[in-house]
Every structure is written in structure tokens, then in C-alpha cells.
Structure 1
Amino acid sequence: MKILLLEDDQILCESLKEFLELEGYFVDVAHRGSEVFDLTYEERYDLYILDVNVPEVDGFDVLASLKEAGDETPAIYITALTDINSISKGFAIGAEDYIKKPFDPEELVIRIKRKYQKEDLLLRLNDIVYNPTTRVLQKDGQTIGLGEVQQNIFHTLMTEQNKIVDSYTLMDFLEQPSANALRVNLAKLKNKLGIEIKNIRAQGYMIENL
């Protein structure tokens, strides 16, 4: 799951980014409202987390502009504005949730999981539970973070369980594609997660889940 976080307090922003990444999310950050438009032009996100009082364009106007442009990405406001008018405005614009500052980062994660982690979407492999929508990976109940390359490889293999994924598809995720680099990343995945990834000679790789 890829998140865009708009927060002008750089200490809080970095703290939230680090916390969310430890939970397995990919996070881009913006400190000014105008930066959101640049980032959303180049990237597609699964969730926006928006502060309201930010420089240049406030969080309310940011989301309103995105909605007017046809962007239906869910959004959560995190803000110190706690009056009923501000809360009503946030929901009227189209926010999915509204969290009042100060808050525990764990509360934010709980709300994200509650809204976007559906039980029937979860994929299981031995002691691993994986949500392909949020890309949150848990092993023995503990969230495991993967780098972007290994995350993409694992996601592809996990969502295609019992099917052969050709090597070239997996190599597309590498910065410098090669069969050897792919083998190295697969070996790291196997060691970190304790899973078996089968090498189907001259065809590709597969996670088998019988």
C-alpha cells in the first residue's frame, strides 16, 4: 500500500513515515500543499494522510482539488483543528476519517487497517498472513518490513500462488536486472521469511501452497 503523507512539521512527518514504513507501507511525504499536486501527477497512491494547516495550499483545499479532478483516493485528516465546523468540512470534502492531534501513531495504523484490511482479502502461507491491498506482511503475528524490490517480488509470487511467474517479470523489479541479482533477492526473501520459492527450470519461480 502506497501512502502520501502531507505534514509540515518535519519531526512529526519523519516520525510518522518511519512508523508506517515499519508497518510495511510505502510512504512519500510532502511539507507544502502544492507539493501534493506534483507528487500525485507522477505517482498513484492508495491513501492520503493530510494535515490541514500547511503552507501554500491547506489540506482542505488540497483534497477538494483532487476530488474535483476525479481522484477518488481515500483520505484521512490528521489535524489540531478539533472544532465541529472543521470536522464537518473535512468529511464534506470527502475524507474517510479525521484524527485529532496529538495522537498515538498506533491509532493511525489501527484506523488504516480497520478500514482497508478485509479478512477475506488476506493470503496465508504457513505462519505468514499477507494483505495484497495494503501490502502488510505478518509472520507469527509480527509485521515484517521488506525493501521495495523484495516487496514487489514477494507480492507478485504471493498473489500468483501455485502459478509459475516467469523470471523476466520478476527481473523487471530490479534496478539492474540479471538472473544472478534475482537469485540473490529470492534467497534473501527465503531466508527472511522462512518460505520455499521453487525454481522451475527454464520457466520461472513459484510459491506453492497446497
Structure 2
Amino acid sequence: MKTKLLLLEDDITLSETVIDYFEEQGFNIVPAYDGLEAIELIYENSFDLLLLDVNVPEVNGFEVLERIRKDENNTPAIFITSLNSMDSLEQGFNCGCDDYIRKPFELKELLLRVQTIIKREYSNKSDIIKISDNIHFDLTSNELKKDEQNMKLNLKELKLLKLFLQNPNELLVHDRIYDNVWDYGEEYSDNSLRTYIKNLRKILGKDKIVSLKKLGYRFNQE
């Protein structure tokens, strides 16, 4: 599964340049052009890292990060800004950012900073997620094992399972699931989603994935 980034940048030319470059490097990168749009996207999606310009319309980048940190969203973040004072740098780190890059910058430098943080985040996580006493998921190999046997999952079932594991005990509304499991422009299906849920329940147990009528699903993690 591709590493998913959010890019908050109101300069359309720069935004398109960064997006093109990172997509060529194998990333999935979602643009936002003002702070309110960024906040909405962050709450609707699971991102691996946030790239936040500071001087953007509606809500500035500092406040975007402050708001999501108050809601205990700890997604790593890099500020991208033309501000160069020490006060601005200090404010950025006080908001909870992981790194800070000043404009103008080389795309390669931004890529290296992103890769460093992503590598650190994954190294801090266990490669094996325990779902229950006899069921485990390997983040490195994307293998789901039950009683030491590999369970076969199709691509969308795998994406759905990883989305649940990234957001345990949290209500995932239907639209958020569709945005993360189905590719952009691909037509989603309620019936297909129910089938994927049914298949996962056969492996994980019915009580692991709870259906909240007309709202979405919640993955119960012990």
C-alpha cells in the first residue's frame, strides 16, 4: 500500500509540482488549498504524514496542527514555509511538528525529510499486530495469520483490514471507507463492502467488526 501524504499548499503551481514529484516516487498525495479543507481531509482519511504550508487561507498551518493535536491525532507533520524567523521556527515545533523546511527548497530535500520520518515511524511500530490470541497481522509482509495459517485476502479486503487496524475502536463512516479502500474514480458498491466485511468476520470473528446502522463500522480491538 502506498504511503499517503496530505499537502496543504495554496500556491497551485507549487502544489502541482510537489504532487507530480512525489507521485513519481511512488507516493499517494492528496492536496488541500486552505486550512479548513485540510482539517476536513485529515478527519476523513488516514495519512502517514502531513505537509503543511503555514500562510494559507481560512486557517493557517500552525492552527491546523494545533487543532488536530488537541484531538490526539499524532500524524507526523512537516511545515513548509517562507517564514524564516527563530520565533516562527519555535512556534512550529511548539505546535507539534516533526520537521520544518523553508521555501524555496529542493524537492529531493523534502523527499529525504519525508522518507526519514516515515522510516522512523515504522521502526517505532511493531511489525506484528495482535488481533486476538490466535490471529496476527504482519505489517511488513501484509500477511494475516490465524493459527499460524495464512489467510487469503483480496486487495480491497487487505486495504479494509489495514484501515480498521489503523483506527481501532473508532467509527469509520461509509464515505471514509470508500475513500480509502476504493481507488480514485472507481465506482464503489455497498454490496461489495458488505461482502468484504462478511469475509473478514469469518476470519476475525463476528464481534470484531460491529455494524452501526446507516453510519458505518467499528473495529473492536482489545
The TM-score with structure 1 as length reference comes to 0.60
Equivalent in the alignment of 2:152 = 166
Where do residues 34-45 of structure 1 align in structure 2 (5 Å cutoff)? 34-45=36-47
CA RMSD of the aligned region, Å?
Answer: 2.8
1:138-158 deviation per Cα after TM superposition (whole angstroms, max 9, x unaligned):
xxxxxxxxxxxxxxxxx9894
Shift of 1:115: 2.4
Which of 16, 19, 35 does residue 18 from structure 2 map onto? 16
Would the aligned equivalents of 1:6 and 1:50 in 2 still touch at CA under 8 Å? yes
Runs (5+) with no aligned partner, structure 1: 122-131, 133-154, 178-210
Equivalent in the alignment of 1:75 = 77
Equivalent in the alignment of 2:110 = 108
Q: 1:156 to 1:61 in 2, by over 3 A?
A: closer
1:152-175 deviation per Cα after TM superposition (whole angstroms, max 9, x unaligned):
xxx9894339975525x3364675
AA aligned opposite 2:67? S
Q: Distance in 2 between matches of 1:23 and 1:83?
A: 32
Shift of 1:42: 1.4
Would the aligned equivalents of 2:23 and 2:29 in 1 still touch at CA under 8 Å? yes
Q: Distance in 1 between matches of 2:156 and 2:117?
A: 33
Shift of 1:176: 7.4
Where do residues 69-148 of structure 1 align in structure 2 (5 Å cutoff)? 69-117=71-119
Would the aligned equivalents of 2:5 and 2:48 in 1 still touch at CA under 8 Å? yes
Equivalent in the alignment of 2:65 = 63
1:80-138 deviation per Cα after TM superposition (whole angstroms, max 9, x unaligned):
001000000000110000000000111011111122225x96xxxxxxxxxx9xxxxxx
Equivalent in the alignment of 1:137 = none
AA aligned opposite 1:2? K
Equivalent in the alignment of 2:161 = none
Higher RCO structure, 1 or 2 (CA under 8 Å, sep 6+): 1
Classify the secondary structure of the residue corresponding to 1:56.
Answer: coil
Runs (5+) with no aligned partner, structure 2: 128-137, 158-180, 189-222
Equivalent in the alignment of 1:148 = none
Fraction of identical pairs, as percent: 38
Classify the secondary structure of the residue corresponding to 1:99.
Answer: strand
Q: Distance in 1 between matches of 2:23 and 2:78?
A: 17
Q: Distance in 1 between matches of 2:187 and 2:42?
A: 26
Q: 1:84 to 1:18 in 2, by over 3 A?
A: same
Q: Distance in 1 between matches of 2:140 and 2:91?
A: 42
Which 4+ runs in 1 deviate beyond 6 A?
none
Q: Distance in 1 between matches of 2:112 and 2:140?
A: 27
